[in-house]
Structure formats: C-alpha cells, structure tokens
C-alpha cells in the first residue's frame, strides 16, 4: 500500500509553482510587446515584391512575387499589376473578384493571371506564361485601397550553343579560318575565342544581328595557326542572365604541319583520294552483286503476286474497284523489290510473308476506308465501303465518355446528317465503337449502336465526317468511296 504524505505534497506543489512563475511572466510580456507592435503596424501592411530581379528564359512560365505582410485577405480589393513604360500600362487588373481581361495591354492577353486561392493570404503574385524578350522591365504590384505598391524587375534571357565551322584555309600562312555562330540570344551576348589554356585569341570583330523575334545572332572568325594550340573554344556568354555556352574544336597534332607543307598536303590528298576510289570500287562491286542476287529472285516473286491476284479475280467479280486495287498491289510489289536492293539479307520466305501481309492489308482495305483527322485527336474513323457501319477507334490510353457527342456526316454536298450518341456510350482505350447503319447490324453490346434513317452510301459518294465532342468539332479527312 502506498502512503502519501500531504505535507510533502504541498511543499512540492509550492516549489513547482514558484519555479514556473518566472518563465510564464517572461512569455507573457513578450506576447504583450508583440501584440502592441502588431496593433501599431496593422494600419499599414506592407507589399513585398522581390529585391532581386527575376531572371527568366524566353518561353518560360514564371511567377513575379508580391505579397502583403502581415497578410490581409485582398480578394475583394482592386489589385493592379502595371508596367509604367507601357500604354496602356496594365498587365493585369483584378476588380470585383474578377480578372478584367479587356483592361490588359494586348501583349499580355491570355498570359497573365493571379493565384486566386492565394489572395485570401494577401499573396498577389503574378503568373506570366510564355515569356517573351519584350516582357523585360519593371513591374509594379499595387493595392488601390491600401495605396501600397512594390516593384519587381524581370530580366528575360535566351541562350543557345555556338556552332563552329571551317570557313577557309590560308595556305600561305598554314592557318585555318574558323567561324563561330550562335543564334537565339537575349540580351546581346559577347563572343570569345579561347585556346587550350583559356587564353583569349585575337579574332575578327563580332558581328551581331537582331532577328524579328528580338533574339540576337552573334558570329566571329578567327585564324588558327600552328603556333596556337590544337584545342580551340568558342565561348558565348551573357553575364546578366548568367549564361555561358561553349563549343570546342580539336585538331590532330600533325594537322598544321600537313597544312604548312604543301608537299605533305599533296601526299595527304592523294592518299585520301586513293582510299576514296578504292571504297567506291568496292561499293559498286557489292551493289552489282546484290543486284544480280535480286534479279534471280524477282521473276519468282512477281509470278507469286500475279498468281494471287488472278486467284482473287476468279473468286470475286472483276469490277473497277478491284482492278484499281490490283494496280495498287503491283505498285507496292515493285516498291518492295526496290527496297530489297537496300536490304538484301531477307530470305525468300520473308519476302513471301511480306507479300502475304500486303495482301491481308488490301483485304482489310476492301471492307473499310480509314479516315483520319488532321486535328489533334486520338480517335480514328473506319468507314465501311459498302455503307454498313462506321467504327470509331480510340488510339489513346484513356477512356472517352461519348455521352452527348454527335457525329455529323455530309454525303457529297447534301444537307449534313447528325447522329447523337446515346447516354453512357463509352469508347475504351485501344478499343472500337461500332455505329451500324440501320439494317446491317444491331446494338448487341455496349460498344454498338444503330444509326436509323441513314441510307447506305454508294460507290462514288464522298463522305465528310465531323465528330462533335463536348467542347470541340473534329473534322475528318473526306472519304472517297469509289
Ligand atoms: C504566393 O503564391 C505563389 C503561387 O502559389 C507561391 O509560389 C508563392 O510562394 C506565394 N508566396 C508567398 C509569400 O506565400
């Protein structure tokens, strides 16, 4: 059994309280001073921008920071982002909790916005997308009601790697003229030629050209001689945007020797020539051999193709359509033979397989025509030649809900017909959805529907499809049935 001594407990209690009274008092006084400070400063929250310039590269999406300290909810206030050197000077105006798009300077339309969720925390940072060189400047964020503003400077840069090329040879001096060019800088960069030790070489003047996109192209030439090192660097740099790009060219140790002594040069040239001629002879020989090989195979293959074609002719009825296709097949066979010259390794079996594959492709072509949209879409349309069905194929990796989608079909130049997909029509990733023309198939599964009141089309009709999804119209290339 535990016995508690009341006296001891009281003493302990007193001790504890005495000990804790000191710090508690101190904390309280700090709090009071802080509250007093807050009280006197709330009258004037300060807008804080950025003391450092914001450095961006052309094409970037960036944030120009600006926030109130201490934070105040500014959602309902009128906020402005301006550039005093512009007319109109507004980059963004926020009034009645709305972005006043029409007040903006035209060059910022569609490119500036606020982080609306941040406004309640007094954060009025500006989002600027697709930065251009002309965006460079001093921006002011301003809150009308508080008459508070702050400046943020934006520096826009663009950098690109230089390219070195050989511009000429100065035989008398035994030197090579190198040219270095770098396109797409902003602001104007400087160009330097350096040797292997990093020493600056004396070069011709730097030529600078400013393009219509405001970007600079710089170029310069230098003559490199034997007394220079074998390693030459072209450096293009822009300090304000902290960008350096370099390209190096290396010469063989004996390069300049051979250049300076014309005899050596002649020897080098003749050796090179001899090697080249030998190489060409070898190439011709190989090509000739390959050609012979193919010649021995070609008749056999053509026979095979013709045999198959005549087979298909006897099976089906000979129509204009089929003759066209036969022509097509022959053409593709010839093309294949031509290709064979480039890749002579394929065996006879592989060739036959390929021809078979081509034929299967053709049979597929017999039942449907494929229409692809030139717009950016993942949906391909397969149209039956005989007007039995239209099939949509989802080439993407996401499922598409087609509820409310419409398919517009214009046959020749007649009035367009419109089909509206029934609710809960779903086009699964990689799968198809078949729209049967009434009388040719039924809606037996969730990926089939029937288009009533549409007559099958005929040969010589031109079909023009437009798929109308929830937010856009996707035109498809016309299908010529023939
Ligand atoms: C303001 O909002 C932007 C965008 O969300 C954020 O990047 C930035 O850090 C915020 N600033 C402050 C001071 O919270």
Residue 120 CA to ligand 1 center (angstroms) comes to 12
Asked if residue 73 is part of any domain, the answer here is: yes
Asked if residue 422 is part of any domain, the answer here is: yes
H/E run at residue 420: strand 417-420
Taking each continuous run of H as one helix and of E as one strand, the counts in the chain are 5, 30
State whether 245 and 264 are in the same domain: no
**Cβ neighbourhood burial of 128 (10 Å; 0-12, 13-18, 19+):** buried
Mean pLDDT across the stretch 265-292? 73
Residue range(s) defining the domain that contains residue 268: 253-298
State whether 34 and 50 are in the same domain: no
Asked if residue 448 is part of any domain, the answer here is: yes
15 token code pair: 């001790």
H/E run at residue 13: helix 6-41
State whether 56 and 111 are in the same domain: yes
Asked if residue 346 is part of any domain, the answer here is: no
State whether 287 and 242 are in the same domain: no
CATH number of the domain at 224, please.
Answer: 2.60.40.10
On the question of pLDDT at 276 being above 90, the answer is no
State whether 60 and 135 are in the same domain: yes
State whether 16 and 67 are in the same domain: no
On the question of pLDDT at 84 being above 50, the answer is yes
Mean pLDDT across the stretch 171-192? 89
State whether 324 and 453 are in the same domain: yes
On the question of pLDDT at 361 being above 90, the answer is no
Q: How many CB atoms lie within 10 A of CB 447?
A: 16
State whether 471 and 391 are in the same domain: yes
pLDDT of 109-153, one tens digit each? Answer: 999 999 999 999 999 999 999 999 899 999 999 999 999 999 999
403 token code pair: 């509820």
Strands 432-437 and 389-394: antiparallel
314 token code pair: 């006897």
Residue 235: predicted pLDDT = 96
Strands 54-57 and 148-157: parallel
**CA–CA distance, 229 with 252 (Å, rounded to integer):** 10
State whether 318 and 441 are in the same domain: yes
pLDDT of 190-206, one tens digit each? Answer: 999 999 889 999 999 99
Closest CA to ligand 1's atom 7:
63
Q: In 3D, which of 251, 215, 217, 206 has the Cα closest to residue 233?
A: 251
Closest CA to ligand 1's atom 3:
125
* Residue 266 · residue 80 · CB < 8 Å: no
Asked if residue 343 is part of any domain, the answer here is: no
Q: Which of residues 142, 157, 172 is at a domain's end?
A: 157
Ligand 1: residues with CB < 6 A are 63, 65, 67, 115, 118, 123, 125
Asked if residue 441 is part of any domain, the answer here is: yes
DSSP 421: P
Residue 42 CA to ligand 1 center (angstroms) comes to 21
Asked if residue 305 is part of any domain, the answer here is: no
DSSP states of 54-104 = EEEETT--EEE--EEES----TTS-EEEE-TTSSS-EEEEEETTEE-GGGS
Please choose from 48, 61, 65, 116 the residue to mutate so as to test ligand 1's pocket, defined by most ligand atoms within 8 A of CB.
65
Ligand 1 atom nearest to CA at 123:
1
Angle between helices 262-315 and 348-367 (to 10 degrees): 50
State whether 278 and 294 are in the same domain: yes
For 34, 36, 38, 148, the CA distances from 42, given in Å and listed in that order, are 12, 10, 6, 13
446 token code pair: 């969730």
State whether 58 and 131 are in the same domain: yes
If you search the block for the tokens 């914001």, which residue do you land on?
54
For 309, 319, 321, 385, the CA distances from 327, given in Å and listed in that order, are 10, 13, 10, 19
On the question of pLDDT at 379 being above 70, the answer is yes
Please choose from 63, 64, 150 the residue to mutate so as to test ligand 1's pocket, defined by most ligand atoms within 8 A of CB.
63
Residue 384: predicted pLDDT = 83
Residue 119 CA to ligand 1 center (angstroms) comes to 10
Residue 374: predicted pLDDT = 67
Q: Which of residues 123, 157, 191 is at a domain's end?
A: 157
Per-residue confidence band for 36, with pLDDT thresholds at 50, 70 and 90? low
Q: Which of residues 131, 157, 183 is at a domain's end?
A: 157
State whether 323 and 399 are in the same domain: yes
What's the half-sphere exposure (Cβ side, CA atoms, 13 Å) at 51? Answer: 0
Q: pTM for the complete prediction?
A: 0.41
**Cβ neighbourhood burial of 464 (10 Å; 0-12, 13-18, 19+):** middle
pLDDT of 226-261, one tens digit each? Answer: 777 788 999 999 988 888 999 998 887 777 776 665
Give the number of domains in the chain. Answer: 5
Residue 401: predicted pLDDT = 86
**CA–CA distance, 281 with 389 (Å, rounded to integer):** 58
On the question of pLDDT at 310 being above 70, the answer is no
Asked if residue 171 is part of any domain, the answer here is: yes
């Amino acid at each position: 059994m535990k016995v508690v001594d009341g006296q001891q407990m009281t003493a302990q209690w007193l001790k504890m309280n005495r000990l804790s009274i000191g710090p508690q008092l101190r904390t309280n006084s700090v709090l009071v001073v802080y509250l007093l400070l807050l009280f006197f400063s709330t009258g004037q929250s300060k807008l804080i921008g950025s003391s450092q310039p914001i450095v961006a590269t052309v094409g970037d999406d960036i944030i120009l920071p600006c926030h109130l300290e201490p934070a105040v909810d500014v959602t309902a206030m009128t906020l402005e982002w301006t550039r005093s050197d512009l007319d109109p000077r507004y980059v963004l105006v926020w009034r009645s909790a709305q972005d006043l798009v029409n007040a903006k300077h035209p060059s910022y339309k569609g490119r500036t916005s606020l982080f609306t969720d941040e406004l309640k925390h007094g954060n009025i940072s500006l989002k600027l997308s697709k930065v251009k060189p002309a965006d460079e400047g001093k921006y002011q964020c301003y809150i009308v009601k508080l008459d508070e503003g702050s400046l943020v400077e934006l520096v826009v840069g663009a950098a690109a790697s230089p390219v070195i090329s050989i511009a000429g040879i100065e035989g008398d001096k035994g030197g090579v003229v190198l040219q270095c060019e770098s396109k797409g800088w902003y602001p104007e960069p400087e160009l330097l030629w350096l040797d292997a030790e990093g020493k600056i070489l004396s070069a011709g003047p730097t030529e600078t050209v400013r393009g219509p996109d405001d970007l600079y192209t710089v170029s310069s030439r230098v003559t490199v001689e034997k007394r220079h090192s074998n390693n030459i660097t072209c450096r293009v740099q822009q300090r304000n945007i902290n960008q350096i790009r370099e390209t190096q060219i290396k010469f063989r140790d004996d390069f300049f020797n051979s250049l300076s002594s014309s005899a050596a040069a002649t020897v080098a040239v003749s050796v090179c020539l001899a090697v080249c001629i030998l190489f060409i002879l070898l190439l011709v020989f190989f090509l000739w051999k390959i050609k012979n090989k193919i010649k021995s195979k070609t008749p056999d293959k053509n026979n095979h193709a013709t045999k198959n074609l005549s087979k298909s002719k006897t099976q089906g009825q000979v129509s204009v359509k089929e003759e066209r296709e036969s022509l097509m097949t022959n053409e593709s066979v010839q093309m294949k033979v031509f290709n064979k010259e480039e890749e002579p390794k394929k065996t006879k079996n592989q060739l036959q397989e390929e021809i078979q594959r081509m034929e299967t492709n053709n049979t597929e072509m017999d039942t449907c025509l494929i229409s692809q949209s030139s717009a950016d879409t993942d949906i391909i349309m397969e149209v039956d030649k005989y007007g039995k069905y239209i099939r949509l194929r989802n080439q993407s990796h996401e499922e598409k809900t087609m509820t409310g989608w419409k398919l517009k079909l214009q046959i020749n130049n007649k009035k367009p017909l419109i089909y509206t997909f029934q609710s809960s029509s779903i086009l699964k990733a990689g799968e198809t959805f078949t729209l049967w023309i009434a009388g040719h198939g039924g809606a037996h599964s969730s990926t089939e529907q029937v288009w009533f009141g549409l007559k099958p089309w005929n040969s010589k009709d031109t079909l023009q499809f437009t798929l109308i999804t929830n937010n856009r119209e996707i035109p498809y290339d016309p299908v010529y049935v023939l």
